[in-house]
A and B are shown apart, each in its own frame.
Chain A
């Protein structure tokens, strides 16, 4: 049997894709599993060579250390910043997207392009102007500062997504509400928003997770542990002499957990949404 026909045999086999996927799934998930195990090691074990995979004496030492460190405070800060950003994105994004989608006006196409263009500007390019603005406004090292900047990061794309939701929303439902004596604002608040709750929730969750992961602005604009989010807090365990890998792994688990849970539940919808998008494009 020649090489070519052997190769063909491998490609044709029904088992091959399962093997490929199993191997790659293992590689892709291994870092998460490894830090999960690592977070239950003692500091001594976490620093020893050869490294172990499964902790020889599982302990909660690392978690206790995290809870008693300023990192806990940065987790709280992340929660505040991400919630504030999600609220602001929805408060600004819902009316904007609804207005453009259902009551198009002269220049609404241009407005959408403005949003798209904002998405393309690299956030790092605006770092220096933001630095000057926040210094002027005396907002550096405040929650407000990060909430505004994180809203800037998420807002343009979220308007696009929300507009896509509202585009699919039945016009008749709004008209029916208007006939029943609802004002246009009332139809928006009492009909369109509640009936699009699932889509809005998705946008909210994505914004939340996105903000939760943000690092660069947090690094530049926060100075103290009572404001800094956990993406900065995790460096608490990176010392000059030694990196406390077990505690750092525990923080890594804490930081990744919200999104991991979301992805496990939303996996189906993410792929469906993308498939729909791919057909539309």
Chain B
């Protein structure tokens, strides 16, 4: 047997599995999106009507808008804090293992638990953070965060960022660590201060890590619903209703699988844009 044949034989089980759980459901997804499949009418070919209906659906656009705010908010906050922490962690000499360990711990908490934990901390009836806000004079009464659309969204962004900062922190820290230290020494000798070295050395050289971190973070927060589910389930008044929840509703609540599949295809299309950007930028460097 040729070596290449042996290699191919080894990969067969994996490839067969992947075909069954990716290629097959994917083609099923596309097929479904062209069908009328709603458990009421007989299943018939529906052409592009599911897509037309999705694109004319007000709630779909609302959910897309919410998803962009949610994922954009999480990514921005995560990037800013991740960068600040990575730059700080790269400078210290003592306790660095301790700080790194503490800072990546939120990563260990399942997203669905993170949502519950933040819901608890922000709760107007029992929440410690809400209580602290009343104590520092931010508000006299406990704030009903989950009754107020904007605040509910901010709460969800906080909880999502909390679990995503560790990854961003590590990616950027790894980027900084791979910068040759002589660059900094040379710049210091030339009299550059820290702000100047940050702007002229760190920032341009970790741009790629930041980009990778940003794209991955935005892609993941775009497509996850775990913590929103446990915090608000899309409420109040659909203020945190994201595209993933919309898709689930078409499966569980409205049982219109054709329509849901069309949303699934649109979601896949949007994610592919992120993915193409990631691959493009990584290959470009």
Contacts and interface: CB of A to CB of B under 8 A. Distances in A.
**Same assembly:** yes
Interface of A: 8, 11-12, 14, 16-18, 20-22, 24-25, 28-29, 31-32, 34-35, 38, 46-51, 53, 91-93, 95-96, 98-100, 102-108, 111, 114-115, 118, 120-133, 148-149, 151-152, 155-156, 159, 184, 188, 209, 212-213, 215-216, 219-220, 231, 234-235, 238, 243, 245, 248-249, 252, 255-256, 259-260, 262-264, 267-268, 270-271, 274-275, 277-279, 281
Given A155-B17, A155-B18, A281-B282, A29 B28 contact: no
A265 to B, nearest CB: 9
Contacts of A260: 105, 108-109
B139 to A, nearest CB: 14
Nearest to B195: A11
B107 to A, nearest CB: 7
A96 B209 contact: no
Nearest to A7: B195
Contacts of A184: 3, 6
Contact of B13 (A11, A95, A124, A248): A95
Interface in B179-225: 193-195, 208-209, 212, 222-223, 225
Contacts of B275: 120
B217 to A, nearest CB: 14
B112 interface: yes
A35 B108 CA distance: 14
B223 A124 contact: yes
A100 B193 CA distance: 49
Interface string B258-272: 001100110110011
B7 A103 contact: yes
A122 B268 contact: yes
Interface string B63-93: 0000000000000000001001101110110
Interface in B102-134: 102-114, 116-118, 120-121, 125-128, 131
A127 B7 contact: no
Contacts of B268: 121-122, 125
Nearest to A122: B223
B4 interface: yes
B7 A28 contact: no
A216 B226 CA distance: 7
Interface of B: 3-11, 13-15, 17-18, 21-22, 24-26, 28-29, 32, 81, 84-85, 87-89, 91-92, 95, 97, 99-114, 116-118, 120-121, 125-128, 131, 142, 162, 165-166, 170-171, 173-175, 177-178, 193-195, 208-209, 212, 222-223, 225-226, 229-230, 244, 247-248, 250-252, 257, 260-261, 264-265, 267-268, 271-272, 275, 282, 285
Contacts of B252: 220
B249 to A, nearest CB: 11
Contacts of A31: 106, 109, 114, 117-118, 121, 162
Contacts of B14: 92-93, 95-96, 155, 159
A277 B170 CA distance: 12
A128 B261 contact: yes
B178 A126 contact: no
A255 B113 contact: yes
B76 to A, nearest CB: 17
Contacts of A252: 109, 113, 116-117
A263 B105 contact: yes
Given A128-B257, A278-B171, A281-B208, A267 B21 contact: no
A62 to B, nearest CB: 13
Contacts of B114: 31
B225 A216 contact: yes
Contacts of B127: 51
A150 B56 CA distance: 34
A8 B193 contact: yes
A92 B13 contact: yes
A12 B194 contact: yes
Contacts of B105: 28-29, 32, 260, 263-264
Given A20-B84, A127-B251, A51 B131 contact: yes
Pairs A-B, 7 closest by C-beta atoms:
A103-B7, A99-B10, A96-B14, A259-B108, A129-B25, A17-B88, A213-B110
Contact of A215 (B18, B24, B25, B229): B229
Contacts of B260: 127-128
A43 B99 CA distance: 34
Given A103-B3, A220-B251, A260-B109, 6 more contacts: A25-B103, A121-B22, A122-B271, A124-B264, A271-B173, A271-B174
Given A25-B99, A95-B11, A271-B173, A123 B223 contact: yes
B7 A100 contact: yes
Contact of B193 (A12, A98, A129): A12
A266 to B, nearest CB: 10
A259 B109 contact: yes
B93 to A, nearest CB: 9
B113 A231 contact: yes
Contact of B8 (A24, A105, A151, A213): A105
Given A103-B3, A130-B25, A267-B100, A274 B120 contact: no
